[in-house]
A and B are shown apart, each in its own frame.
Chain A
Amino acid sequence: MSNAIIYAILSTIKIGIVIGVLLLVIAYLIWVERKVMAHMQVRMGPMRVGWHGLLQPIADGLKLITKEDIIPANASKILFIASPAIAMVPALLSIAVIPFGDTISIMGVSIDMVITDVNIGVLFILAVSSVGVYGILLGGWSSNNKYSLLGGLRSSAQMISYELSMGLSLIGVIMMTESLSLVDTVNAQADLWFVVLQPVAFVVYAISAIAETNRCPFDLPEAETELVSGFHTEYSSMKFALFFMAEYANIITVSAVGVTFFFGGWRGPFLPPVVWFLIKMAMCIFFFVWLRSTFPRFRIDQLMQFAWKILLPVAIANVLITGLVMSFL
C-alpha cells in the first residue's frame, strides 16, 4: 500500500518536473532558433527585449495571450477548439517513456530517471506521434478555409508517408536490442552507439524525423508562399500558440528519440547522465535549425517520390540486411 503511494507521489513529481522543463525549453527554443537562424543569415535576431532579446519568449507569450481569439463564423466550432490540444498533447505525451538518466537512489528509494518504463516504449512513441496528425488535419478541416484544408491534407499525406520509413528505421535498432523498451535500448549502447552500427537507419530516421515535424525543408503543410500559412491560417491568440508550441515539442520529442536510439541516450563520461542527455539533445536541435536556415522547401511531388521511391526501399533494405547479418553472425 505505502509502496503504491510513494510510486504515485514520485511519478507526479517526475511528471511535473519534466513537463515544466519541457515547456520552458520550448519557450526558449523559439528564441534559440531565431537567434541561431539570424546569425546564419548574417543578421542579429531579437535584440531589444532584455539582454540580446533573452526576454523575447515572455514578451511573445504575453502578446499572444492578449490577442483577440477569433473563431471563424462557418468553422466547425468544437473541432476548431479541440484541434490545437490534439496537436499539443501527443507531442508532450511521447516524452513519458524516454529515459533521461540512470537510476538514482535518494533516502533508500531508488528512482528511475524515466517517467514510466513501458515494455513497448517504441510502439507507444510511434502510436502517440501518429495521433498528432489528427490535430493538424482537423485544425485545417474545421477552419472552413481552402488554404487550411490544403495544408491539413498535405500534412496528413506527408506524415503518413514518412511515418513508415521512420518506424522501419527504428526496427533495425530494435532487432539488435531485441527489446521494445527504451531503457533496454540505452543499456544496449553502453559500449558502442547504434549510429555506428546502424548508419543507414540513422540517416533514414533523421530525414523522416524532420518530415514528421513539418520542418524546413519539409514544411509543406505551412508553405507560406503557396498556402498563406497552411493549417493554422485561421488560428489566432493562444490557439495559434499551441500549434506553434506543438511543433517545437515535436522537435524535442524526435530529438530525444533520436538520441535514445542512435547516440546512447544519457550515457557519457564524466558529466552526470541528465547533462549528457541534454547536450546530445541540444546538438540534435541545433541540427534542425541549421537545416532550416540552409535549405529551400521541397515540391510536393518531389516529397512524395522521395518518401516512397527512395526512403522506404532504403529502410526496408536496411532491415533486411540487419536481419541477414544477425542471423549469420
Chain B
Amino acid sequence: MIKPLIQGLMLTLKHFLSPSKVVTMQYPDEKWTPYPRFRGLHELQRDEDGKEKCVACGLCSTVCPSECINLVGSEDNNGNRYAETYEIDMFRCIFCGYCEEVCPEEAIFLRQDYELATENVNDRIYNKEKLLVPLKKKAKKRAKKKSK
C-alpha cells in the first residue's frame, strides 16, 4: 500500500527537479507555429499579373456548411467575371476548408493565421480588401504596363 504512494511522490519530485521541461507555452511571448496543412484565416489569391483569381462562380458559398461566405459577382469591360463583394463572417466560419477544396480557380486558401479575436463585433466580417493577398511590387509594375 505504501509503495505506490512513494512512487507517486517520486514522480512529482522528478518533474519538480527538472523545471525546464515544461509542456505549456507562454502564449503571447512565444507563439505556436501551425502545421503546413493548418486551416486558419482565408486568403484570396491573385494570378501572376496581380488580378484576382476569383471568378465569382459561387461554389464556395454554396458548399459552405455554415453559410458564412457572401459574394456578389459582376463583369468588367472585357467580359471577365469577378467578385464585386466577397465577405466571410468569421463568427460563423468553422474553418472546414470546403471552400478551398471546391474552388475550381484555386482562388481561396486557408492559411496559418489563427489570432482572429476581436473587440468589435463589426470586425467579424472580413471583406475583399482584408482577404486578398497584397500585391507584390513586380506584379504591380506588370499590371501598370498592361493597362498602358
Contact = CB atoms under 8 A, between A and B. Distances in A.
B36 interface: no
Contacts of A294: 8-9, 11-12
A290 B9 contact: yes
B22 A43 contact: yes
A47 interface: yes
A295 interface: yes
Contact of B12 (A43, A47, A293): A293
Given A36-B16, A47-B26, A42 B21 contact: yes
Which bucket holds chain B's interface residue count?
10 to 19
A293 B23 CA distance: 17
Contacts of B116: none
Contacts of A293: 12
A320 interface: no
A12 interface: no
B5 interface: yes
A39 B21 CA distance: 9
A43 B23 contact: yes
A192 B13 CA distance: 28
Contacts of B8: 294-295
Interface in B49-102: none
B15 interface: yes
A40 interface: yes
B26 A290 contact: no
B24 interface: yes
B22 A39 contact: yes
A175 interface: no
Interface in A287-305: 290-291, 293-295
B84 to A, nearest CB: 46
B20 to A, nearest CB: 10
A291 B26 CA distance: 26
Nearest to B29: A47
A42 B23 contact: yes
Contacts of A291: 9
B16 A43 contact: no
A290 B24 CA distance: 20
Given A294-B8, A295-B5, A295-B8, A40 B26 contact: no
B11 to A, nearest CB: 8
A41 B15 contact: yes
A290 B13 contact: yes
A44 interface: yes
B27 to A, nearest CB: 10
A305 to B, nearest CB: 14
Contacts of A47: 26
A44 B25 CA distance: 9
B105 to A, nearest CB: 46
A297 to B, nearest CB: 14
A39 B16 contact: yes
Contacts of B22: 39, 42-44
Given A40-B15, A42-B23, A295-B5, 18 more contacts: A36-B16, A39-B16, A40-B12, A40-B16, A41-B15, A42-B15, A42-B22, A43-B22, A43-B24, A44-B22, A44-B26, A47-B26, A291-B9, A293-B12, A294-B8, A294-B9, A294-B11, A294-B12
The 7 closest A-B pairs by CB, nearest first: A40-B12, A294-B12, A40-B16, A294-B8, A39-B16, A39-B19, A43-B24
5 contacts: A40-B12, A40-B16, A42-B24, A44-B22, A47-B26
